[in-house]
Amino acid sequence: MMWKKDDQGNEYTTAAGAARYIGMPRTTFLHYLDPKCALPVDKRPKSKILFFKSVFYKNDLDEWKNKTSKIKFNYKRNVDKSGSNLSNVTEFPKESNKSS
């Protein structure tokens, strides 16, 4: 993971580096940043724009990790299995007609 320093000497990294630092998958971390996510705004990780990129400061990541460490997030979509048939065709042949 690459940490860079800004003009004030604060360390920052990209989203992939931030996810690696926190110890979660990158896609899950990006899901928490998405505006469509149901996570409240105060529980989302803080990001700042630096050189036209979204960056994450180490202090903000530590604060977010400590603030949300005991919260169990439900980030996976629950699949509704009400329809058990996967296709409209219900009668498949049990054996093929071709002789082998």
* CB 64 within 8 Å of CB 70: no
> Would you state the pLDDT for residue 28?
84
User: Rounded to an integer, what distance in angstroms lies between the CA atom of residue 55 and that of residue 13?
Assistant: 6
pLDDT, one tens digit per residue, over 12-57 is 888 888 888 888 888 888 888 888 887 788 888 888 888 888 888 8
Residue type, 39: L
Domain ranges of the chain: 4-67
Closest CA to 16 of 70, 54, 50: 54
Give the mean pLDDT of 78-97: 65
